[in-house]
Chains A and B, each alone.
Chain A
Amino acid sequence: MPGPREGIHASDVVEGNAGPRGGVKALPGGAAGRDTIDQSSQDAGTTAKLSLRGVRKSFGDNIVLSGIDLDVAAGEMVCLIGASGSGKSTLLRCINQLEPIDDGVVLLDGQDISEPGLDLGPVRQRIGIVFQSYNLFPHMSALQNVLLAPRRVLRRDSTAEAEALFARFGLAAHMHKYPDQLSGGQQQRVAVIRALAMRPEMMLFDEITAALDPELVGEVLNVLRQLRAEGMTMILATHEMGFARELADRVCFMDGGVIVEQGPPERIFSAPELARTKEFLRSVLR
């Protein structure tokens, strides 16, 4: 069962509306709703692609996540916004178990993937992640970067599939180049292709445009638009508010290690309910 959730205060959490595709269980907020949270966590096993219940994470004395509840429906695109240090990246890394969580549960299709001692290889194949700093393998060509994991993990030669992905994201001419020879935007698109080559069921994007020159941001966001159109389940930590507004089904504003307000982008951006959300949006939208 989920751990205690002192981190959520009734006044902090605003109930989000269900996403446009139905299927999304909005989180009941506040102490009054505790029974219903537990109700929904059982429910979530059947309806949500991914469910987080009371997820906590500290690094030493530094509490980074203090009780995260989140449900993401299949095909939904969720954007995490919030100031640097609000826990967005850590949340993503806790979802694919790159960081072990201290408390709470992470359910993928109802399976508890945060269970200590679980073999995480198969889990990580199902959840692709792309990092801010690309992290391509510098000693391999772009194509070799993409082919490594399918070959070693799935024992599959996915050359044709990879070439199709390169073509689709406009990189067919750069397949055999090394990361050093590619621009930041190209490297980041290769990183997306590398994750997609494992045929993940959902994708996590950790501020993937934050390290790019402004003129290169567009080409990477186009890749995300394409994935969105194909119905990929995605969670994005992002500072691109315009992009979140355009494409997200739901926007979650994080502050102090909790999701303090969430809802459809139209509402979050035009009529945020909490002072903290307003203040943050004012500072970034200026």
Chain B
Amino acid sequence: MNRRQAYEAAERRRALTVAAVSTALVVAAIILLVPLAPGWPAVRASFFDGAVFAQTFPTLLRAFLIDVMIFAWSVPLILGLGLAIALARGARAPALFPLRIFGAVYVDVFRGVPVVLTIYLIGFGVPGLGLPRPWNSPYIWGTVALVLTYSAYIAEVLRSGIESIHASQRNAAICLGLSERDTMRYVILPQAIRRVVPANMNMLVALQKDVALLSFIGPVEILRQAGIYKSLLANFTPYVVAAVIFLAITVPATRYADHLLNKDRNARS
């Protein structure tokens, strides 16, 4: 080991020690100080009740499957519609001008209204038209509300991705004789989509959480089920259970997305 390596090893050891000690101090402070708070016994009883946790966990996990289902069928719809809106907003042909206007208005409206409000308006409003079963299902109209809102966001993300691809790429494709359409499909879009994967993953993690908002219009998914338990047992622990279940899904999902991105980057360099 030469002088430089010895120095760097010592630096690393020192950094690790400092990090370990400071983390231990913070954790110890939380463990020691929080229980000293006057309301702690009450909080522990109503939020961290082990018996309630064990009792409600299986049912809440089952209710969470409804969230997962709604998420699963929303995602393809959101990505498809988002892409269509992004392309509509970029359409330059005069005949497609109405499409461009529509795309702009769509994005403005659904990004401008809070998700909860869209869910209320569509989830209660449309079935109010007196549609026959199953067309009055809150699952359908709740999904529609989520798709409308999130596709507006995804469309903007995709559009920024498309615009970030340098004009020289388009020129190279055009000069080979490719049509505008093929240039978009084979040259611009694949690069644009790849570039916005992280932003879109963040969108999907947010969507996974916002599915719980559908509890306001009917479906007994995890948040509503937790609410039922809260009233039944006069205890908030079911909400903590729900939070834990959400984290168990969203944290690995985000990490996996990062991993995929890194793998893709490494494969090509």
Contacts and interface: CB of A to CB of B under 8 A. Distances in A.
Are chains A and B native binding partners rather than an unrelated pairing?
Answer: yes
B191 interface: yes
Given A138-B268, A180-B269, A181-B268, A98 B171 contact: yes
Which label, helix, strand, loop or mixed, suits the secondary structure of the B interface? helix
Given A138-B191, A139-B190, A148 B178 contact: yes
B177 interface: yes
Contact of A124 (B169, B177, B190, B191): B177
A152 B178 contact: yes
B175 interface: yes
Contacts of A148: 176, 178, 186-187
Nearest to B189: A139
B175 A137 contact: no
B175 A139 contact: no
A139 B178 CA distance: 17
Contact of A129 (B175, B179, B190, B268): B175
A134 to B, nearest CB: 9
Contacts of A178: 268
Contacts of B175: 96, 98, 124, 128-129, 195
Contacts of B187: 137, 148
A49 interface: no
A152 B174 contact: no
Interface residues on A, range: 20 to 34
Contacts of B182: 152-153
B231 interface: no
B259 interface: no
A107 interface: no
A125 B191 contact: no
B240 interface: no
A194 interface: yes
Given A124-B176, A194-B176, A195-B176, A135 B169 contact: yes
A135 B269 contact: no
A98 B174 contact: yes
Contact of A135 (B171, B194, B268): B171
Contacts of B178: 121, 148-149, 152-153
B194 A139 contact: yes
Contacts, number: 62
Interface string A123-137: 011001101010111
Range class of the B interface residue count: 10 to 19
A98 B171 CA distance: 7
B22 interface: no
Nearest to A137: B187
B186 A152 contact: yes
A131 B186 CA distance: 20
Contacts of A242: none
B191 A153 contact: no
Contact of A181 (B172, B176, B186, B269): B269
Interface in A250-278: none
B168 interface: yes
A131 B170 CA distance: 13
A133 B176 CA distance: 16
Given A125-B177, A139-B191, 14 more contacts: A98-B171, A121-B178, A124-B175, A124-B177, A128-B175, A131-B171, A131-B172, A135-B169, A138-B191, A148-B176, A152-B178, A178-B268, A194-B176, A195-B175
30 contacts: A98-B175, A124-B174, A124-B177, A129-B175, A131-B171, A131-B172, A133-B168, A135-B168, A135-B169, A135-B171, A135-B172, A136-B172, A137-B172, A137-B173, A137-B191, A138-B191, A138-B268, A139-B190, A139-B191, A148-B178, A148-B186, A148-B187, A149-B173, A149-B177, A153-B176, A153-B179, A178-B268, A180-B268, A181-B269, A194-B176
Interface of A: 96, 98, 121-122, 124-125, 128-129, 131, 133, 135-139, 148-149, 152-153, 178, 180-181, 194-195, 198
Interface of B: 168-169, 171-179, 182, 186-187, 190-191, 194, 268-269
